[in-house]
Amino acid sequence: MKRNDTYTYARSSKLFSAAKKVIPGGVNSPVRAFKSVGGEPIFIEKAEGAYLFDADANQYIDFIASWGPMILGHAHEEVVNALMSSARKGTSFGIPTALETKIAELACKMAPNVDQIRFVNSGTEACMSAIRLARGFTGKDKIIKFSGCYHGHSDSFLIEAGSGAVTFGSPNSPGVTQGTAKDTLLARYNDLNNVEEIFKANAGELAAVIIEPVAGNMGCIPPVKGFLEGIRQLCDEHGVLFIFDEVMTGFRLAPGGAQELLDIRADIVTYGKVIGGGLPVGAFGARKEIMSHLAPEGPVYQAGTLSGNPLAMSAGYTTLSILNESPDLYQRLNQKTTYLKDQMKPLLDEKGIPYQLNQLGSMMSLHFTEHPVTDFESSSTGNNAFFNAYFHGMLERGIYLPPSAFESYFLNDAISYKDLDFTLDAFQQVLKAL
């Protein structure tokens, strides 16, 4: 593998300066700006398989996979071919195509408890629409979300815990109104008692509980045994819809996502990331009884000029088809991620610093803390200075990790054991220097 001896970033730095003049913060999504790890972002020139190449011709092994979508690796030949042949037939019509039915049929077949699915353009849109649908279906207003879970940037989700644990939340971004915040209740991840309290205090007013069934936006945090099962039961008892936000986990943890892996039924499921195979796609699905409330069949309005876009659907369909036809892929990804985690452990132990390695399937995260990371609070106890030095040390050795301790690694199928060993070598060097 050819790599530069020393990584320099002059071109990226110049591109970042130019970007900052015309794009707020120089980026189109905040985490890309490296604010939490310090320094300046690299600008990507191209990607292939497991590797990213930046504007200074530095090569990296990519452990983010575009935050999940590139599960097959970058510029996968079949996906690229599907895109090229689709592009030649025109890129947008605003009129139905057969391809939309094809991907919907495949997604409904792969995803448990989904009879019908509606395609949108992002995970944000999917979650926002799922909440509206849940409210329209139940006739109730309030939703429960969990601290540290991310469901996109729509107003209802940009909420932090209010003063009391069972009271309503408050906006955590200017521009979100108190009126919106009062309908979002904040619960602690992996704390079923807390969820029960909130159910009690808001009896008869709840439309839905929305959750990342395996959290990936406060590091990777798997649900403790009984937690999701308990919420499922509460929802059934109170006629509340249970929404799985599978934007990260969908088609990644198993062909049927977290629902299949954990064997728990959701009422509405949201998708994004993998379902678009690297193009901007989101989706939400449910059983027919619920989905029939959506316009034009029902009264709950939802629409999109570019929804079901043929380019996006061809990348998504090709990716899902490959996943559906290669059940070994999930085992392979799980084995590689487990290998990485298992080999990191003795190196960390030898260094003697406190750490937590969380992993489920191809998602994992490393936190520099002695507290088991099970919720947002424990995730926040990580040593930031350590993490930042670790991040930059790995970057300079050709390993691209998420630029924040609150993000999960996503392995892709193109990563080889040779790449993992290279990563572990870098890891050992970086730990020595910490």
Ligand X SMILES: *Cc1c(COP(=O)(O)O)cnc(C)c1O
Annotated catalytic residues are 150, 245, 273
Total number of residues that touch ligand X (CB under 6 A)? 16
CB within 8 Å of 58: residues ≥ 6 apart: 3, 4, 7, 8, 9, 42, 398
- Interface segment toward ligand X; rule CB under 6 A; list 43-51, 122-130, 161-169, 371-379: 122-130
Strands 184-187 and 268-271: unpaired
Q: Does 316 bind ligand X (CB under 6 A)?
A: no
User: Of the two residues 125 and 419, which places its CB atom closer to ligand X in the complex?
Assistant: 125
The DSSP 8-state label assigned to residue 222 in this structure reads P
Residue placing its CB nearer to ligand X in the complex, 73 or 148? 148
Q: What's the min distance (Å) between Cβ of 274 and ligand X?
A: 11
Identity of the residue, 194 or 249, whose beta carbon is nearer to ligand X in the bound complex: 249
Binding piece for ligand X, criterion CB under 6 A, among 245-253, 351-359, 372-380, 398-406:
245-253
Contact (Cβ atoms closer than 8 angstroms) between residue 154 and residue 127: yes
Question: Smallest distance, Å, CB 24 to ligand X?
Answer: 17
CA distances from 153 to 64, 116, 136, 238 (A): 20, 25, 21, 28
**358: nearest Cα among 211, 123, 189:** 189
Tokens matching residue 46 = 């191209």
**CA gap 252, 71 in Å, rounded:** 7
Give the angle 310-217-363 at the CA atoms, nearest 5°: 80
Out of 127, 176, 231, 286, name the contact with ligand X by CB under 6 A.
127
Question: Is the CB of 67 or the CB of 376 nearer to ligand X?
Answer: 67
Closest distance of CB 424 from ligand X, Å: 27
Give the pairing type, strands 51-54 and 44-48. Answer: antiparallel
Determine the residue with CB nearest ligand X. Answer: 123
In the chain, the N- to C-terminal Cα span, in Å, equals 26
Nearest to 356 by CA among 380, 331, 332: 380
Is 151 a binding residue for ligand X by CB under 6 A? The answer is yes
Cα dihedral 68, 69, 70, 76 in deg (nearest 10): 170
Q: Does residue 69 belong to the site contacting ligand X (CB under 6 A)?
A: no
Q: Which of 228, 247, 264, 268 binds ligand X (CB under 6 A)?
A: 247
Task: Confirm or reject binding of residue 248 to ligand X (CB under 6 A).
Answer: yes
Counted residue by residue, the chain has a size of: 434
* Shorter beta-carbon distance to ligand X: residue 55 or 210: 210
Which residues touch 18 (CB under 8 Å, ≥6 apart)? none
Distance separating alpha carbons of residues 167 and 182, to the nearest angstrom: 9
Instruction: Tell me the two tokens of residue 164.
Output: 């009391």
From candidates 43, 63, 119, 150, binder to ligand X by CB under 6 A:
150
**Residue 407 touching ligand X (CB under 6 A):** no
Inter-axis angle of helices 328-351 and 417-433, nearest 10: 20
Looking at beta carbons only, is 15 or 127 nearer to ligand X? 127
Closest to ligand X by CB, 71 vs 344, is 71
Query: Does residue 296 have a cis bond before it (omega within 30 degrees)?
Result: yes
Q: Residue 427, interface with ligand X (CB under 6 A)?
A: no
Among 66, 124, 156, 302, the residue binding ligand X under the rule CB under 6 A is 124
Name which of residues 262 to 291 contact ligand X (CB under 6 A): 272, 282
Q: Which of 69, 112, 148, 152 binds ligand X (CB under 6 A)?
A: 152
String marking each residue 195-234 x if it binds ligand X according to CB under 6 A: -----------------x---xx-----------------
- Strand pairing class (142-146; 159-160): unpaired
Q: Which residues are near ligand X by CB under 6 A?
A: 67, 122-124, 127, 150-152, 212, 216-217, 245, 247-248, 272, 282
